[in-house]
């Protein structure tokens, strides 16, 4: 069971679509649950793509506003989980994580894996204060995958998870040299590691794309640098 905010086609949702399709092909039953069926900002709705990939889908839209609406979604997710009894529960982004934490309390034997998409700090995430008061909900997770060392340090310091229950997957790259966690002058003969790092943002620990990639562009590419991570 995968829990996301919506079926909007963000980078993580596209990764999830590929993962869900693979899980179905190797014989697993997959349910993808979105807290809302509404997709904002003109983003493509990929709910039908999940169905085409063989996954089941559900949305948790409820009447009401604010916490009342959210509580309805938490109840709806728990009802689905009780009927489904998933072996693995995966959640992405804080609202989905918080909803998943109720399922983990109800079904403690279900393995819950969450992602730290960024360091959710003041000036970056409006609900940053939630983690100081309700961090114990995230400590219920069996494992949290961070998208960078910067995000992992936030998990260790703010959520206070043991390091053994965290890991880093760099936006789809299983492992990168530790040297790439800090700005390093790369000699012309040094081998390059190329991959998808999504958006370069300070909240993810990648605030210096122009310094590193400018060098790579001059040495290795005729294409203009694309700071969207495409």
The domains of the chain are located at 2-168, 178-220
Q: Is the pTM of this model over 0.85?
A: no
> Which CATH number applies to 2-168: 3.50.50.60, 3.40.50.2000, 2.60.120.10, 3.40.50.300?
3.40.50.2000
Residue 65's SS3 state is coil
Report the alpha-carbon distance of residue 171 to residue 178 in Å, rounded: 15
For the stretch 80-133, pLDDT in tens is 999 999 999 999 999 999 999 999 999 999 999 999 988 888 888 888 888 988
Q: How many Cβ atoms are within 10 Å of 125's Cβ, its own excluded?
A: 16
Q: What pLDDT shows up at residue 177?
A: 53
The answer to whether 135 touches 141, Cβ cutoff 8 Å, is no
- CB neighbour list of residue 93: distance below 8 Å, 6 or more residues apart: 4, 5, 12, 115, 117
**Percent of the chain residues topping a pLDDT of 90:** 53
């Amino acid at each position: 069971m995968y829990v996301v905010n919506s079926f909007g086609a963000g980078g993580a949702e596209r990764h999830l679509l590929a993962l869900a399709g693979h899980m179905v092909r190797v014989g697993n039953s997959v349910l993808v649950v979105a807290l809302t069926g509404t997709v904002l900002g003109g983003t493509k709705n990929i709910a039908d793509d999940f169905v085409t990939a063989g996954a089941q889908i559900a949305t948790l839209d409820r009447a009401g506003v604010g916490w009342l609406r959210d509580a309805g979604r938490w109840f709806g997710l728990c009802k689905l989980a009780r009927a489904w009894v998933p072996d693995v529960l995966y959640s992405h982004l804080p609202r989905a994580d918080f909803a998943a934490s109720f399922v983990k309390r109800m079904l403690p034997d279900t393995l819950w894996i969450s992602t730290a998409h960024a360091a959710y700090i003041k000036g970056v995430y409006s609900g940053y204060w939630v983690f100081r008061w309700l961090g114990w909900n995230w400590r219920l997770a069996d494992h949290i995958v961070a998208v960078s060392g910067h995000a992992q340090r936030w998990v260790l310091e703010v959520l206070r998870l043991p390091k053994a229950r965290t890991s880093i997957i760099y936006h789809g790259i299983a492992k990168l040299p530790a040297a790439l966690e800090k700005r390093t002058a790369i000699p012309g003969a040094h081998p390059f590691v190329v991959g998808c790092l999504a958006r370069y943002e300070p909240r993810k620990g990648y605030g210096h794309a122009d310094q590193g990639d400018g060098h790579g562009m001059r040495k290795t590419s005729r294409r203009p640098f694309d700071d969207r991570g495409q």
